[in-house]
Chain A
């Protein structure tokens, strides 16, 4: 299915990252890498530290130890806007859209970092600001076309179904033209048809736009179908790392998911 896309060298390296909130240890010496153009899944039981890991990657949380290297820039502490500028975009587990704004306006906010004109120019909608707006709108329209949401372009987000809101959130992330896309449970709470649609879009994004994707997902069949490699966390530790097939047969993973008799 992914014959045309070539998985390249490691683009993101997580090295011995540890993160604690007071006495609660969220991550303990986790290391793994993500290669260019691949789909990398992070799985694990509830509270395993999956979302914390994503938050470390895009700079929301600052780990106490270890470092993260994106495209060769190694750092321990990075700010979210800096991560965004480097080309990291994400979606959230609990949808974080502007509910009163239209789909179009929400996706336009994804272009925010790329806008150069100042507040005054934009208020007057004149000269460079106007040109820029048209350029960004054109880019947003290609995303709308890509995710097939033409029919809701002018609909306020609050009126949409959950599945469509998730798609709009993906659209906003894509509007930033990211190199690395972080998806936090993109299919949570969706019905089967919505899941199939979303899976297809994720594959399309990866295949046609060449975007590297890190995703957290609970639906195992989705993870097994979509991802190239899977990393498994449990109580903040990495317990397995490999292809879906390898992970599926790993004893520690089976124990973590099914529990072991003591």
Chain B
């Protein structure tokens, strides 16, 4: 076997040589999909790299990349790597103040950003980041009159790059790269404390991506739509790294608002989304079906019934499906599933993944039953994701699959999941203490998740290890497990459970505005907005039904039966990342919420039936306002554990 390229820049040159004319990148611009072949991309990257070098970018320098998924931003990452530098992608929707930490921590000297919005943010924090000396922008719109000496257009940068005869220089710089060099620093969203910079080497990313490409058999004719934030490890691994290995095409949406249309036009063969994306799509479908004509609605529900019964067996190629059901399913494919998948842009999907959070049973079954090979995976930034995945044909809803080739998974005595693999990070950037804490002497990374292997060898994750607590009577309390059960109801968007060290479990609820608003309209309930709906008795009843169903479920579980929900309230505002209540990836920041709403928590554990609260909230334009409300607290029915087990 010939030697395989072992750094990203070498892979780029390799692809440009092996398949120069195959499409590598597409982007919709002015209504038309523009395509760049691998040879063209190599060319663009060379001019960017030479331009950056002209501007003083040296080996080991960090390049911040901020913006929506644009081809040139990806190329800038390639250019930085070609020069032996390290790209540091940032979340594009973060406010300026949040960017300061990363810019300072990573000693960023150069930034490549998408547009005026990002330029404004960086200029705002420039005084706090003295090292930042050059900001290059992709879209010049609105920037004509900016006179800051730090600013430069990417067009200009590439122009200077083209003028120098850079072919040898470019090849020479790539030659100097080593697989053990840092390929990228990805900042973790930081459920607690400041974000940490996860340093991943070329070797770790490339080895992991090779395993992934082999696992699902990706080839050059595959297509992916990259719409998730570039700062997230998933985008780096699934889009950037896999494209380098398999040579398939990375498609960039026209704008974040057009993703659904773009999805349909591109028809990717490979798709990744966190559960909430799948959930949003399903909610949209359901709302539209409810508004469709009588005939269409009847047809949809009838064939979804067939799909529910036999769809998953057909997908997994299992026997035991009668000829009649096969014919019915075929007819359904023709009349319902096929057109539906077409509308969703999922006609060509071979594999779709979800991960990061638990996925609801209805959601998971819906996609699989209409023939979309949706699978789960488990992993984190520190392990290049890729710890466990569902192999095709061996999929179980409540697990995250089997350990991947080359990955060792061990369960500690405390129940924590430990991982050793080629994809485990080199270090937390500039934080040796944190690194030592996370990776033990044997090289196992401590994930912080609690889980266990089931009888089939599939890993099941229940919660964060540190969040798993005990009620006052010693019953196991897994808050996320309960919250997820609540969130599987379409009406409930977020939930925050309390109970560690207390006598009973109580919960805050955020309902799903879209679903509940629709529900309210159907019942002719007048309302003005979220806060108003949150105070309505009918909405409380709706949520109470959901809570009681969860209690019935929990009662059947031997270990968690006593952690049923006794009291709940509906928060008067939606939890928001801008108010620090969620992380940028929309995970609940439990402790922060418990502190911020301490009054409400106390009220839940008293015998009060209502509680007054006033909170600050931040609007999208940065101004703040206050929302105040008198919140009701409601009791929920709990079930006897013994009776439930007898019934089951």
Contact = CB atoms under 8 A, between A and B. Distances in A.
Interface of A: 1, 3-4, 137-138, 141-142, 144-145, 148, 150-151, 153-154, 193, 196, 204, 207-208
B31 A141 contact: yes
A204 B142 CA distance: 7
Contacts of B257: 150-151
A4 B30 contact: no
Interface string B249-270: 0000011011001000000000
Given A4-B144, A193-B621, A208-B144, A151 B261 contact: yes
Nearest to B144: A4
Contacts of B621: 193, 196
B258 A138 contact: no
Given A207-B144, A208-B141, 9 more contacts: A3-B145, A4-B144, A141-B30, A145-B29, A145-B30, A150-B31, A150-B255, A193-B621, A204-B142
A205 B377 CA distance: 48
Interface residues of B, number: 14
B630 to A, nearest CB: 27
A138 B30 CA distance: 7
B254 A150 contact: yes
A143 to B, nearest CB: 10
Secondary structure dominating the interface of B: loop
A171 to B, nearest CB: 13
Contact of B145 (A4, A144, A148): A4
B30 A148 contact: no
Contacts of A150: 31, 254-255, 257-258
10 closest Cβ contacts across the A-B interface?
Answer: A151-B257, A141-B30, A141-B31, A151-B258, A3-B145, A150-B254, A150-B258, A150-B255, A4-B145, A4-B144
A208 B31 CA distance: 21
Interface in B141-171: 141-142, 144-145
Contacts, number: 33
A158 to B, nearest CB: 15
Counting chain B CB atoms within 10 Å of each CB, the highest count among A141, A150, A196 belongs to A150
Contacts of B261: 151, 154
Contacts of A142: 30
Contacts of A3: 145
A144 B257 CA distance: 14
Nearest to A104: B31
A221 to B, nearest CB: 16
A4 B146 CA distance: 10
Contact of A153 (B31, B141, B142, B145): B31
B140 to A, nearest CB: 10
Given A151-B257, A151-B258, A144 B31 contact: yes
Contacts of A141: 30-32
Nearest to B258: A151
A204 B143 CA distance: 11
Nearest to A146: B141
Contacts of A4: 144-145
A167 B258 CA distance: 17
29 contacts: A1-B145, A3-B145, A4-B144, A4-B145, A137-B31, A138-B30, A141-B30, A141-B31, A141-B32, A144-B30, A144-B31, A145-B30, A150-B31, A150-B254, A150-B255, A150-B257, A150-B258, A151-B257, A151-B258, A151-B261, A153-B31, A154-B261, A193-B621, A196-B621, A204-B141, A204-B142, A207-B144, A208-B141, A208-B144
A258 to B, nearest CB: 30
Nearest to A154: B261
Nearest to A200: B142
